Chain A
Amino acid sequence: NAGVTQTPKFQVLKTGQSMTLQCAQDMNHEYMSWYRQDPGMGLRLIHYSVGAGITDQGEVPNGYNVSRSTTEDFPLRLLSAAPSQTSVYFCASRKSGTQNTGELFFGEGSRLTVL
């Protein structure tokens, strides 16, 4: 199993450009989420999904869109990038239902720089 795979690992954007961070998991996890990590602020939840077709906002959703058309994929879209979105982004998933141990499985992160 590959686990949680994020692409790209590094990206530089100009202000106003759009891009999509891809996330895929092969563990049949129903729950998937996106976090951003900034110095001194820990990890903050952007959006999450409890299953295909269902998404919800986290702590810092502004400027980001998500969709969940399949169980495996959960892309994060930046429609008009801003310097404040410079960060490291993590996708994470976990089991649901009776197999839910609460533990999140993380991707390796994507470092995004917006100039």
Chain B
Amino acid sequence: AQTVTQSQPEMSVQEAETVTLSCTYDTSESDYYLFWYKQPPSRQMILVIRQEAYKQQNATENRFSVNFQKAAKSFSLKISDSQLGDAAMYFCAYRSYNTDKLIFGTGTRLQVFP
């Protein structure tokens, strides 16, 4: 069975600095999606970034980028120039091409200090 592990329950960063959130996963599949979702205090789940496993190039969305290491089964999220509005829970998630189930990690709570 596939699993997603986020080993950092909490992280903190100062405004304008860079922070990296870790995620590892376990799968025997070769084709899959990986996602990072943000959950602010409003509770709404917001997609931050997605990566398809067949793409070697790391995905980037403005200040958010990933370091996707397929062989190591690692999918970290880097937030550059952190802003107060980045404070939230961040969830890493995995989905195989062959199933309809999205599997989530337990989340990392990010605090941003001014």
Contacts and interface: CB of A to CB of B under 8 A. Distances in A.
A50 interface: yes
A103 B100 contact: no
A31 B95 contact: no
Nearest to B92: A42
Given A42-B91, A88-B43, A109-B44, A103 B35 contact: yes
Contacts of B4: 42
B33 A102 contact: yes
Nearest to A49: B100
A41 interface: yes
B16 interface: no
B26 to A, nearest CB: 15
Please tell me the size bucket of the interface on B. Answer: 20 to 34
Given A31-B100, A58-B101, A102 B106 contact: no
A4 B91 CA distance: 20
A109 B43 contact: yes
Contacts of A104: 45, 47, 102
B104 interface: yes
B105 A106 contact: no
Given A42-B91, A50-B100, 15 more contacts: A35-B104, A40-B9, A41-B106, A42-B4, A42-B104, A43-B104, A45-B101, A58-B101, A92-B45, A102-B33, A102-B35, A103-B50, A104-B45, A108-B42, A108-B43
6 contacts: A40-B9, A42-B4, A44-B104, A59-B101, A109-B43, A109-B45
